[in-house]
Amino acid sequence: MAKYSIDLDLAFAALADPTRRAIVSRLCEGPQTVSELSKPFELALPSLLKHVQVLEQSGLISSEKTGRIRTCKIEPDALHATEAWIHQHVTAWEQRLDRLEAHIARMKRKK
């Protein structure tokens, strides 16, 4: 459980930044070079590379360097882990709301 928690902490910390979320969204469309990723952002390349590094450390993306070109791609397993955590909590809240709704319906029938 501890490693799972650390992995989630890193993933959610990485996704807390809007630039990194945008990078992940773009990589969901397919692998891209760092220079392709940098086009829509008003960031210097070194700043974008720091975002890429955070995403790599979180396990959300990976990159491969061929010569002078670094290509990034999404790592679906890390996204699946965060999705599973979110789904687990959404399900719990939905069950609570269902119980509340049933309770309210019972209260209305008693009146």
- Phi then psi dihedrals of residue 105, to 5 deg: -60, -40
78-86 long-range contacts, CB within 8 A, separation 24+: 78/7, 78/11, 79/24, 81/4, 81/7, 81/8, 81/11, 82/8, 82/11, 82/12, 82/15, 85/8
Tokens encoding 109: 């029938």
Query: Do 49 and 34 form a contact (C-beta atoms < 8 A)?
Result: yes
pLDDT, tens digit (0-9, with 9 covering 90-100), for 23-73 = 999 999 999 999 999 999 888 889 999 999 999 999 999 999 999 999 999
Instruction: Provide CATH code, domain 2-110.
Output: 1.10.10.10
pLDDT, tens digit (0-9, with 9 covering 90-100), for 79-110 = 888 888 888 888 888 888 888 888 888 888 88
Query: Do 14 and 20 form a contact (C-beta atoms < 8 A)?
Result: yes
Domains of the chain, residue spans:
2-110
pTM, entire model: 0.75
Residue 12, pLDDT > 70, answer yes
